[in-house]
A and B are shown apart, each in its own frame.
Chain A
Amino acid sequence: MIDSSRLLWCDTVREALAAITRRPARTTLTALGTILGVGAFVATNGLAETARAQVSSRFDALKATEVRVQDAAPDGTNSFPSDASLRLERLNGVNHAGIYYLIPEDIPLQPRAMPGRDGHGGISLPVIAAQPGAVLASLPILRVGRLFDNFHESRSERVALVGRAAAAQLGITRVDNHPAVFIGNIAFTIIGIIDDVKRNPDILLSIVVPFSTAQRELPSRGATYEVIIDTQPGAAQLVARQTSLALRPDFPERLRVLVPPDPRRLRNQVSGDVTSLFLALSGLALLIGTVAIANATLLNVIERREEIGLRRALGAKRAHIRRQITVEAGLVGLVAGVAGASIGILGVVATSASRGWTTTISPGNVLLAPIIGLFAGTVAGLLPAIRASGTPPAVTLRA
């Protein structure tokens, strides 16, 4: 009785490991394509994730919670209802809203801390008329004093806020002594100094007076009216759709609503574009890597014809040869996957560090890399393995 030819699996792996480890230079060259492919896969995915996180944080920082409404056919008159602020703040998702406009510059105004005081009489500063909601929608930070509110608005009080830069020009540093500024011949009591704003930075250079007061006391012909709305995160799109009807149910087409792109959609779009591009690139790199490892393995097999013939002479079946070559190629792919993942991670970390980004790499992608390498190597080894096992031993030994 003769037993069949047998090759234990542990011996297959041992033989494959010997073939790989005893010739490191050859193994490295064989694996190079896959290293680059898997490295590109990890790097591109890592960069995509990092960039996505970066884009997200940028968008999160600038959450689109702002809606602006303009007159679609400006004629120098106010096309908004005077209770615009009230109407809009009733809408779900609206924090603050109000009309504001810049007093036209051709109207002679001389803001002064004290009428006729030397050194301040000729200062020219912009004057903004704004409803309290418009001021709040600009997200102001007060240095001293307070903002005007609906009480001042409803009573058309002669009060004013000054921006940080305007206050410096006027020489005003405090409001507890009730300083006044003369706009024309009308004195406005300054009740607050605005240190900073998140929106409408021109406020910092201006004097802001209640809308109703400006309408009554100051000329407004030729002004460009605008409504600013501060919404809750994610509500801007919905508020924008309702604004025209809320303000001008009789003639909504008169108004033009400006809303920034939906951040989620934009972010997803950007992320999707980046990811698709990177995945395509890494897929291409991986394909090239697989072809490279297949080519290198094929050359390797051709070079090792004698060894393969010898193994056949010693009793190896065709299946044993196929198995060994495939396992060798798979192990090369696995090693290449680990090496490629390491290089890819280093690339992502280096790129992120150079740009000051926070590195974001999914563990799944990193763990997937060796598996991809193993798969690519195994697939790449199939054809050479079939070719190697198909050559008659008598021919290979004669070589």
Chain B
Amino acid sequence: MITTAPLTNVIDVEGLSKTFPGPPLVTALQPCSFQVRQGEFVAITGPSGSGKSTLLSLLGLLDKPTAGRYTLDGMDVAGLSDNHRSAVRAHRIGFVFQAFHLIGYRTVTENVELGLLYQGTSMRKRRTDALEVIERVGLISRKDGLCAHLSGGEKQRVAIARTLIRDPAIVLCDEPTGNLDTANGEVILSTLESLIADGMTVVIISHDPSVAARAPRNLQIRDGLLTESLVGTSR
């Protein structure tokens, strides 16, 4: 069990870095420090290979940092064991991926229910909550359809619903509009903005300046080095 304390910052990173063992040694992320407050919408931008995905993996506890401190929702999570990181992911972190990562042979409802599977939630509650969030993303008419048969925009909405059902402390989005056309990309961004309006914290990674422009706060990363620039008004 991990103890949490109420803090304003959802993410508090200090000197976080990642170096992949060689040879040759590859420093994917140079030591960086930043904070993300609750309800904030932060975009991390940078060219391909700059270290965006590495930073997202570290923030999402999908990978372990080489050095640095990382406090998520008041918990020091940088040195957690694999099982503890799984627990934090299960309860505190939501992901939206560019490739959707849905299970094609399962229905929309079943994919959304997966969000609660590793929280030990009963099947009945999973079903009820799933239908609720599916309705929220406007896919209730497709709830029994197989995900393999959905359009790209619908798939990403299912992925968002799968995140919503978890009520995470933070939502990490990796190029959420990367595989979508402009219209569908707009729908997804609008959906994410509605989550932020509801008080959810969202960190979005994108190399698309138009996506980054929607976020009040931008973190730029180049060659593994993170810099910050304020685009709009911080919330």
Contacts and interface: CB of A to CB of B under 8 A. Distances in A.
Q: Do A and B come from one complex?
A: yes
A313 B89 contact: yes
Given A315-B91, A318-B83, A318-B86, 4 more contacts: A3-B1, A14-B123, A315-B86, A392-B62
A315 B82 CA distance: 10
Interface stretch (A60-68, A196-204, A302-310): A302-310
Given A306-B99, A306-B101, A5 B87 contact: yes
Interface residues of A, number: 35
A315 B62 contact: no
Interface stretch (A15-23, A120-128, A261-269): A15-23
Contacts of B89: 5, 312-315
A2 B60 contact: no
B97 A5 contact: no
Contact of B87 (A3, A14, A312, A319): A3
A301 to B, nearest CB: 14
B229 to A, nearest CB: 27
A11 B119 CA distance: 11
Interface string B151-177: 000000000001000100000000000
A2 B105 contact: no
Interface centre among A7, A8, A316, A393, by most B CB within 10 Å?
Answer: A393
- Dominant SS among interface residues on chain A: helix
A225 B162 CA distance: 99
B120 interface: yes
A260 B92 CA distance: 83
B106 A22 contact: yes
9 contacts: A1-B4, A2-B88, A2-B91, A3-B87, A18-B105, A313-B89, A313-B101, A314-B95, A314-B117
B63 interface: yes
Contacts of B123: 10-11, 14
Contacts of B99: 306
Nearest to A392: B63
B210 interface: no
A320 interface: yes
A155 interface: no
B34 interface: no
Interface centre among A19, A307, A318, by most B CB within 10 Å?
Answer: A307
Contact of B90 (A15, A306, A309, A315): A315
B224 interface: no
Contacts of A314: 89-90, 95, 114-115, 117-118, 162, 166
B183 interface: no
A216 interface: no
B120 A18 contact: no
Contacts of A15: 117
A254 interface: no
A392 B97 CA distance: 16
B182 interface: no
A312 B110 contact: no
A397 interface: yes
Interface string B206-223: 000000000000000000
B191 interface: no
Given A18-B106, A393-B62, A4 B101 contact: no
Contact of A3 (B53, B103, B120): B120
B26 interface: no
A310 B82 contact: no
Nearest to B95: A313
B83 A317 contact: yes
B231 to A, nearest CB: 28
B75 interface: yes
Contact of B86 (A19, A22, A309, A317): A317
Nearest to B116: A314
A307 B105 CA distance: 11
A126 B166 CA distance: 103
Contacts of B3: 1
B97 A397 contact: yes
Contact of B120 (A8, A22, A307, A398): A8
B2 interface: yes
A5 B86 contact: yes
B101 A397 contact: yes
